[in-house]
Amino acid sequence: MAVDYGQKRVGVAITDPLCTIPQPLVTIRPKSIADLIKRLKCIASENNVGLIIVGNPVSLRGEPTEFSRKIERFIERLKQQLDIEVQKWDERYLSKFAVNKFKEAGLSAKKEDIDRVAASLMLEEYLLKRQS
């Protein structure tokens, strides 16, 4: 499962049981971190998730940003609440790529759509890297 964490919205994507096809699942507008973790826990349980990757918004030079520190804290809380491996994933340019996917298809994208598609692209990158 991939999580594109944002302050207002969180995009979530999952893959099929064979871990070959990533797909956007949902965009969550959590009331709190506790609410978000509860919802992610449900999604993980319903889909037999064994790994969660969380987007890490590093700078263009690959250095941590101020938001990266928030991601670190979120990941720590997630690890405390779920008995699932959690990894950070470099998410540079993913939202931009998601917007481009919609443009290529001749569609306009809502922010909620972009978040879950960005999570799906993150998961796709992870799966491709794992295969190589």
Distance, in Å, from the CA atom of 119 to the CA atom of 128, rounded to the nearest integer, reads: 14
User: Quick one: pLDDT at residue 132?
Assistant: 73
pTM: 0.89
Asked if the model's pLDDT at residue 25 lies above 90, the reply is yes
For the chain, the domains span 2-131
Would strands 10-15 and 2-5 be described as parallel, antiparallel, or unpaired? antiparallel
Asked if the model's pLDDT at residue 108 lies above 80, the reply is no
| Mean pLDDT score of the chain | 90
Distance, in Å, from the CA atom of 86 to the CA atom of 112, rounded to the nearest integer, reads: 23
Q: What is the pLDDT of residues 32-86, one digit of tens each?
A: 999 999 999 999 999 999 999 999 988 788 788 888 899 999 999 999 999 999 9
Domain 2-131 has CATH 3.30.420.140: yes
Q: In what order do the strands lie in the sheet with 10-15?
A: 22-28, 10-15, 2-5, 51-56, 85-90
Of 2, 14, 13, 15, the residue nearest 55 (C-alpha): 2
